Amino acid sequence: MLKKGDRIALVVNSNGLAREKEKELHALQSLLLDMGLIAVFSRYLYQKETIFSGTAEQRGSELMSFYQDSSIAAIFDISGGDVANQVLPSLDYEWIKAHPKPFFGYSDLTTILNALYEKAGSIGYLYQIRTLLWDETGKQKRRFEESLLGNQGSLFECKWQFIQGHELSGVVIGGNIRCLLKLAGTPYFPNFQGKLLFLESSGGGMPQQTAYLNQLAQMGIFEQVSGILLGTFTELDQTDGRFKMSQLVAEMSPNADFPIAVTSEIGHDAQAKCLIIGETLHLKR
């Protein structure tokens, strides 16, 4: 996907970063340079008077400028929070469809990842590049180099455990459950028919996750998808036990054979792997 000497863009489309993160970003830039990658920063990284690093139009225009810059090999969003969906109307999906390039982001960037797939047919990568620094074991750095600069796939290879069913197959959509639901009722909400729906979350306990799942159920989503994939649910896992979310989903599934698979390797953890949104996935028990 990438090679040494490539220029990659680091952008912020969700909440602006606190100015105190500047040292971290320079450390990330240096780490990437050691790998042979040249990181180019967006002009809109840090919070100003409020949580915004720029207006929705400024952030969206900046993102488009990196898509239109042929010297940029890939785009990595380094933010998270609440406001990434602001930029969706500012993106030129026809341009992106004609000139696709890898876009990486997680959490609130679920909104952009799914909009890119729905409106431009462009696959995206549910992954936070800042985990290269957050993971102190060095595993993320090794996986990143092997998979994005090499020919191995360790960053994308996850262990799945079936909770229900024996096999599932389909194009993967979804991401953070709270952020995905921001797209409901908009032109950016993906078509769920026959898809594999992946869900994960950082915040939110049992009441919040129950509410999110019921919204999906009442929209008829569980009858449309071919299966459910579950990552980590950080707050829920810490307070109510790791498999509670899968139990909630199983209770709402259309039948006892409806396929549900879980992994502990995708989510908000410092060692979280990457899930490709818009790519076909096949799993068997």
Tell me the pLDDT tens digit for each residue of 21-57: 999 999 999 999 999 999 999 999 999 999 999 999 9
Distance CA 259, CA 223 (A): 12
* CA 148 from centroid of its chain's CA atoms: 16
Number of separate domains in the chain: 2
- Annotated active-site residue in 62, 79, 147, 268: 268
pLDDT reported for residue 241: 61
Q: Quick one: 216 and 193 in the same domain?
A: yes
- The answer to whether residue 153 sits within a structural domain is no
Answer yes or no: do 131 and 178 share one domain: no
Q: Do 166 and 276 fall into the same domain?
A: yes
Q: For residues 181 and 72, what is the distance between their CA atoms, to the nearest angstrom?
A: 31
Whole-angstrom Cα distance, residue 106 to residue 127?
A: 5
Mean pLDDT for all residues in the chain? 96
Q: Is there a single domain that holds both residue 178 and residue 225? A: yes
Tell whether 16 and 132 lie within a shared domain. Answer: yes
Indicate whether 23 and 137 sit together in one domain: yes
Give the residue from 119, 148, 177 where a domain finishes. Answer: 148
Same-domain status, 188 and 231: yes
| Residue 166 designated active-site | no
Our answer to whether residue 268 is catalytic in this structure is yes
Q: Is residue 89 part of a domain?
A: yes
Instruction: Specify the CATH number for the domain of residue 74.
Output: 3.40.50.10740
CA-to-CA dists, residue 87 to 43, 61, 190, angstroms: 15, 8, 17
The enclosing domain of 217 has a CATH number of 3.50.30.60
Q: Using alpha carbons, select from 86, 83, 12 the residue that is nearest to residue 56.
A: 86
The answer as to whether 246 is a domain residue is: yes
In a domain, 132, yes or no: yes
In a domain, 169, yes or no: yes
Q: How far apart are CA 62 and CA 67, in angstroms?
A: 9
Q: What is the pLDDT of residues 217-272, one digit of tens each?
A: 999 999 999 999 999 999 998 887 655 899 999 999 999 999 999 999 999 999 99
**Residue type (1 letter), 125:** Y
Considering the domain architecture, whether residues 12 and 96 belong to the same structural domain is answered as yes
pTM to 2 decimals?
0.97
> Please, where are the H alpha helices in the chain?
22-35, 56-68, 93-98, 110-120, 131-134, 139-148, 177-180, 206-218, 221-224, 234-240, 244-252
Residue 156 lies in a domain: no
Examine residue 113 and state whether it is found in any structural domain, yes or no.
yes
Domain identity same for 16 and 143: yes
Question: What pLDDT, in 10s, does the model give residues 146-180?
Answer: 999 999 999 999 999 999 999 999 999 999 999 99
Residue finishing a domain among 127, 148, 169: 148
Out of 42, 147, 200, 253, the active site residue is 200
Among residues 107, 122, 201, 253, which one is catalytic? 107
pLDDT tens digits, one per residue of 55-89: 999 999 999 999 999 999 999 999 999 999 999 99
Boundary residue ending a domain (115, 148, 181) = 148
Whether 103 is covered by a domain: the verdict is yes
14 is catalytic: no
Is 87 found in the same domain as 66?
yes
Q: What range defines the domain where residue 21 resides?
A: 7-148
pLDDT in tens, 92-139: 999 999 999 999 999 999 999 999 999 999 999 999 999 999 999 999
* pLDDT of amino acid 78: 98
Quick check: helix, strand or coil at residue 19?
helix
**Rounded to whole angstroms, what are the CA distances from 241 to 88, 154, 158?**
35, 28, 21
Q: Same domain for 57 and 129?
A: yes
3-state secondary structure of 206: helix
Residues 62 and 111 in one domain: yes
pLDDT at position 240: 74
